[in-house]
Structure 1
Amino acid sequence: MTETKEWFESWFDSPYHGMLYQRRDEHEASAFIDKLFAWLQPAAASSVLDIACGDGRHAAYMKNYVHEVIGIDLSEQRIQKAQKLAKENLAFYKQDMRNVFRLNYFDYAFNFFTSFGYFQHYRDNVIAADSFAKSLKPGGRLMIDYMNVDRVKDQLVAEEVVEVEGICFNIHRKSENGKIIKTIQFKDASGKPYSFEEVVSEFRLPDFKELFERCGLQLITTFGDYELNPFNVEVSPRLIMIFEKH
């Protein structure tokens, strides 16, 4: 019996994903990395793992700070694109985040822009968290950048239409059974209909603490936005967490 694919296995490899999200602010991402690395103060000899690295731009930017950066992503197409940026000590591999890439190897691991909590079954999130922990050296640090679920739910836009390059994306959002579900429907230029879903777990700070502490990672600080202001559950747009391996 063939297992049903998880939603991200098809959507992230679709050219329409890149089209819909092409307006993401790259300057904001670079500025966030600058602030994060100023706070972390990594040694120049550090090794970094970028988990769910996408097309590799952020991994390539982090290479300005450290000796080695490796990016992993499940999407074949994104990794092929990322590999065009590869150079000495900057490499990219197709890899499921639930599988340990290198054991006790990295000084830092980063998971940017809500690239966690995608799995249908909670146990897969536990397996992924354990994989993150196992990839780090003792004393290594993990950064998780997640949405602030309560603020997202307060501001949830149930329906909207986004037009990009002549294609109208009809987007529907809802909160259901502990998940935030975004349905994206559209037709291509020939009129062929498409429908994709994004399903992300409504994990809050206590959920993350419990999940990662059972894997040997201790929460050491939180931030609430890309300026690294303190986290406030009522107003912060993001939940950014730094964990350290025991």
Structure 2
Amino acid sequence: MIMDIDIDKSWFKDWFNSPYYHLLYNNRDEQEAAAFIDKLLAYLQPPAHASMLDVACGKGRHAKYLADKGYDVTGIDLSIESINIAKKLENEHLSFFQHDMRLPFRINYFDVVFNFFTSFGYFESQRDNDNALRTLANALRPGGKLVLDYLNSPYVEQHLVYDEVKEKENVVFDIQREVKNHKFLKKINILDKNLMRRATFAESVNAFSRADFERMFAKQGLVISEIFGDYHFNSYDEQRSPRMVLIAQKP
């Protein structure tokens, strides 16, 4: 069990721009993601040509999936490397911008705002996390809906794998995890056999609970209408659900 992982408060700036980040997470299940988005759209019933914002959009695959269904979609992400890749997908219904989610981005503009796959809770201070959520809330039109998909902290803590080694394309990832100060911490030691070099990165995600989100959403004037416990829309259970998919509305 790892007990001493130190995390720089701006860890995400370097890690999300690293090619090793994209290599480590390139096996995410795109079919599962598409099925999840389809279920969300069926549940939300957005109007035709609705305006949508994908916050922390990465390389833009999910934003493109939404745009291909006829919606007007904007994606924002802190990583300039990801945005440069996403911009190759742009068309008249799809655009991307490099942007820090802690700063305002279009006010009272979007019908739906998405934040997929635990792309929130990175920040050291609660003020920064509140500012990020304020960006999402303010971007919505009155009556607009927010979907925030987060890990379920009690479940993750119960099932945490403290040590893990993965190898991809001749790059070894030695991953150490711990829970400390109400955060999930991850240290990633990398051995790149292709370039014969080593690197170390870290991740930190707040272990927010349902009650934490209820307080944060209420502070931004958002009304939670539903919480699902997984991508199949099963009911949320604090101990058994792997995810916490929050759906809220701006009055």
Q: Following superposition of structure 1 onto structure 2, how do residues 56-71 of structure 1 map, counting pairs within 5 Å?
A: 56-71=60-75
Report the Cα offset of residue 5 of structure 1: 6.2
Deviations 1:75-133 (A, max 9, x none): 00000000111101200000111112111000100000000000011110011111111
For 1:34 and 1:9, how far apart are their aligned partners in 2? 31
TM-score (norm 2): 0.95
SS of the aligned residue for 2:161 comes to: coil
SS of the aligned residue for 1:239 comes to: strand
Q: Following superposition of structure 1 onto structure 2, how do residues 1-246 of structure 1 map, counting pairs within 5 Å?
A: 6-189=10-193, 190-246=195-251
For 1:57 and 1:12, how far apart are their aligned partners in 2? 16
TM-score (norm 1): 0.96
| Contact 1:42–1:66 under 8 Å retained in 2 | no
Deviates more, 1:59-68 or 1:108-117: 59-68
Report the Cα offset of residue 191 of structure 1: 2.9
Deviates more, 1:83-92 or 1:188-197: 188-197
| Contact 1:51–1:71 under 8 Å retained in 2 | yes
| Contact 1:169–1:185 under 8 Å retained in 2 | yes
Report the Cα offset of residue 72 of structure 1: 0.2
For 1:147 and 1:71, how far apart are their aligned partners in 2? 21
For 1:86 and 1:194, how far apart are their aligned partners in 2? 33
Q: Structure 1 pair 238/5, CA: closer, same or farther in 2 (3 Å)?
A: closer
Report the Cα offset of residue 222 of structure 1: 0.6
| Contact 1:159–1:171 under 8 Å retained in 2 | yes
Q: Percent identity?
A: 48
For 2:128 and 2:70, how far apart are their aligned partners in 1? 30
| Contact 1:43–1:66 under 8 Å retained in 2 | no
Report the Cα offset of residue 234 of structure 1: 1.2
Structure 2, unmatched stretches of 5+, are 1-7
The one-letter code sitting in structure 2 at the alignment partner of 1:89 is H
Alignment partner, residue 3 of structure 2: none
Deviations 1:145-190 (A, max 9, x none): 0001001000111101001111111000000001000110012233
| Contact 1:48–1:66 under 8 Å retained in 2 | no
| Contact 1:47–1:66 under 8 Å retained in 2 | no
| Contact 1:144–1:240 under 8 Å retained in 2 | yes
How many matched pairs? 243
